[in-house]
């Protein structure tokens, strides 16, 4: 037997119904905020992801050569593709431009609970505005989407890379080391951050300042403490004021339960300003269901300077979070068959096909015997697939323009005139 590749999954019909239920709710919420959907290819030129996404992502890429020796790769995320698409086709559209996407992504990671090699992201990008209210609205959208799904407990942490980066700039760490450092900060591996800074021969007072800063975590009031910590550095103080303004707007949008966390560094290199993550504790090690922030990518790809912010939900983790918290599978409506048609003769078969097509055109989930089974076996089959009703057509009854409609749950049968049949099902 050929196995499916490691880190990938198959989804059953019932699983797909539950996933679609979540997807539809997310679509409804983002559309209620004025976003419209875009789609980009599943594979791209690999440089799209190696230019600016960061070393971690580059190591995880599924890279391959096509028959013309082009180096391509499966997309690990959708922000870079959307930025590319924006430059080629969307940049003339009115701003701010609000787009969303839902698609599979591929990362060569060590699979574990909540971490896959093929996973789905549902994300949004807000292009062409960098006001505090625009960034606040975007975060409010992520929170609202989870609330609308009835997710009970989830935690928002918000940080600002501008603050962290300007402090790191002050001590002039080379780009490569900075990227390594950000990775360690992102993992909250404080011990190794300190070790790395010491190895880089940074002054001890500066190391202690950085260590203090990346450990800043608390509610809104912690901003005052932060202000004292960065006193004297005008540029960083201005960034802090911007940060404060965004958080203020976030409260206006009704999001009050916020943890300020300056230790958020994000795994991707393109972020520049506000960054945020949403966690669901019950998921354990892979608890982050959403990540995003403001970033600079469009310029990197040769486009005009454009302010951009976005986020992506780890769709699989959102589904897992909902089911873990509820302690049961989601109650998505099972797509049961509404009508199963059983013809019992040659003449009835012709009529049965005609009826099946009319009911299908009316949107009824309809199926028909395709195995030429007798009545008993057909009823057994209809039962096993949970059909709600069966239509039984016998040649002799058909001569009298009558069919039997059987309620599969109760077993009651009703004779229905052929002329009334469609109405019987559709005028309920
Ligand atoms: P990211 O944090 O790398 O950000 O991924 C977003 C979300 O995808 C994560 O929070 C996580 O829930 C989910 N995720 C990531 N890797 C896996 C995996 N191997 N298996 C399951 N789920 C996973 C981005 O990708 C950015 N493009 C988000 C963004 C949009 N920033 C601005 N705009």
Mean pLDDT value of segment 305-322: 98
Whether 279 lines ligand 1, by a CB cut-off of 6 Å, is no
* Model confidence at 49: pLDDT above 90: yes
* Model confidence at 314: pLDDT above 80: yes
Phi-psi region of 309 (alpha: psi -120 to 50; beta: other; left: phi over 0): beta
Mean of the per-residue pLDDT values of the chain: 93
Higher pLDDT, 340 or 182: 340
Long-range contacts of 139-142 (CB under 8 A, 24+ apart): 139/246, 139/250, 139/253, 139/255, 139/274, 139/276, 139/311, 140/250, 140/253, 140/254, 140/255, 141/29, 141/30, 141/33, 142/276, 142/278, 142/290, 142/292, 142/311, 142/313
- Summarised one tens digit per residue, pLDDT across range 143-189 is 999 999 999 999 999 999 988 888 777 777 777 777 788 888 888 89
- Write the residue with the smallest CA distance to atom 21 of ligand 1: 115
* Model confidence at 54: pLDDT above 70: no
Compute, in angstroms, the gap from residue 260 CA to the centroid of ligand 1. 20
- Write the residue with the smallest CA distance to atom 22 of ligand 1: 314
Nearest residue to 339 via CA among 407, 415, 397, 393: 407
Cβ neighbours of residue 4 closer than 8 Å, sequence gap 6 or more: 10
- Summarised one tens digit per residue, pLDDT across range 222-246 is 999 888 888 888 888 999 999 999 9
Q: SS in 3 state form for 301-314?
A: CCCCCCCEEEEEEE
C-alpha–C-alpha distance, residues 292 and 78, integer Å: 12
Mean pLDDT value of segment 60-70: 95
Mean pLDDT value of segment 313-338: 92
Compute, in angstroms, the gap from residue 290 CA to the centroid of ligand 1. 7
User: For ligand 1, what atom is nearest to the CA of residue 76?
Assistant: 25
* Model confidence at 55: pLDDT above 80: no
**Residue 58, exposed/middle/buried by CB under 10 A (0-12, 13-18, 19+)?**
middle
pLDDT recorded at residue 66: 96
- Write the residue with the smallest CA distance to atom 20 of ligand 1: 115
Compute, in angstroms, the gap from residue 423 CA to the centroid of ligand 1. 49
| CA terminus-to-terminus distance, the chain | 48
| Helices 161-170 & 234-252 angle (0-180, nearest 10) | 170
C-alpha–C-alpha distance, residues 118 and 111, integer Å: 10
Whether 109 lines ligand 1, by a CB cut-off of 6 Å, is yes
pLDDT recorded at residue 130: 93
Whether 314 lines ligand 1, by a CB cut-off of 6 Å, is yes
- Summarised one tens digit per residue, pLDDT across range 360-397 is 999 999 999 999 999 999 999 999 999 999 999 999 99
Compute, in angstroms, the gap from residue 120 CA to the centroid of ligand 1. 9
Least confident span in 116-120, 175-179, 276-280: 175-179
Compute, in angstroms, the gap from residue 419 CA to the centroid of ligand 1. 56
Mean pLDDT value of segment 77-103: 97
Compute, in angstroms, the gap from residue 265 CA to the centroid of ligand 1. 14
Compute, in angstroms, the gap from residue 289 CA to the centroid of ligand 1. 8
User: For ligand 1, what atom is nearest to the CA of residue 313?
Assistant: 7
Bridge partners, 115 (sequence order):
112
Whether 77 lines ligand 1, by a CB cut-off of 6 Å, is yes
Whether 288 lines ligand 1, by a CB cut-off of 6 Å, is yes
């Amino acid at each position: 037997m050929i196995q499916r590749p490691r880190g990938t999954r198959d989804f059953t019909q019932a699983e797909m119904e539950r996933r679609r239920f979540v997807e539809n709710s997310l679509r409804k919420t983002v559309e209620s905020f004025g976003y419209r959907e875009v789609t980009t290819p599943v594979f791209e030129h690999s440089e799209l992801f190696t230019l600016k996404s960061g070393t971690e992502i580059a190591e995880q890429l599924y890279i391959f050569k096509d028959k013309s020796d082009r180096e391509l790769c499966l997309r690990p995320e959708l922000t870079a593709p959307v930025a590319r698409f924006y430059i080629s086709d969307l940049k003339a559209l009115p701003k701010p431009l609000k787009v969303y996407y839902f698609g599979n992504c591929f990362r060569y990671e060590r699979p574990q609970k909540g971490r896959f090699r093929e996973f789905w992201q549902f994300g949004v990008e807000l292009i062409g505005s960098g006001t505090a209210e625009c960034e606040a609205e975007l975060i409010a959208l992520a929170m609202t989407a989870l609330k609308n799904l009835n997710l009970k407990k989830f935690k928002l942490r918000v940080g600002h890379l501008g603050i962290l980066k300007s402090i790191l700039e002050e001590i002039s760490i080379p780009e490569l080391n900075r990227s390594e450092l950000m990775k360690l900060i992102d993992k909250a591996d404080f011990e190794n951050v300190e070790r790395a800074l010491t190895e880089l021969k940074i002054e001890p007072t500066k190391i202690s300042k950085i260590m203090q800063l990346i450990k800043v975590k608390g509610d809104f009031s912690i901003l005052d403490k932060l202000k004292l910590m960065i006193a004297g550095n005008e540029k960083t103080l201005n960034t802090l004021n911007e940060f404060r303004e965004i958080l203020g707007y976030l409260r206006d949008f009704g999001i009050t339960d916020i943890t300020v966390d300056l230790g958020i560094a994000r795994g991707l290199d393109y972020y520049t300003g506000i960054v945020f993550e949403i966690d669901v504790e019950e998921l354990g090690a892979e608890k982050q269901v959403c990540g995003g922030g403001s970033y600079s990518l469009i310029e990197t790809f040769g486009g005009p300077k454009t302010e951009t912010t976005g986020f992506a939900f780890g769709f699989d983790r959102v589904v897992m979070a909902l089911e873990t918290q509820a302690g049961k599978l989601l109650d998505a409506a099972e797509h049961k068959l509404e009508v199963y048609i059983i013809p019992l003769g040659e003449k009835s078969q012709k009529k049965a096909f005609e009826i099946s097509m009319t009911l299908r055109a009316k949107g009824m989930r309809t199926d028909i015997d395709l195995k030429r089974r007798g009545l008993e076996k057909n009823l057994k089959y209809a039962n096993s697939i949970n059909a709600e009703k069966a239509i039984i057509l016998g040649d002799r009854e058909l001569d009298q323009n009558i069919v039997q409609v059987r309620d599969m749950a109760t077993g009651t049968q009703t004779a229905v005139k052929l002329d009334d049949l469609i109405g019987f099902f559709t005028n309920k």
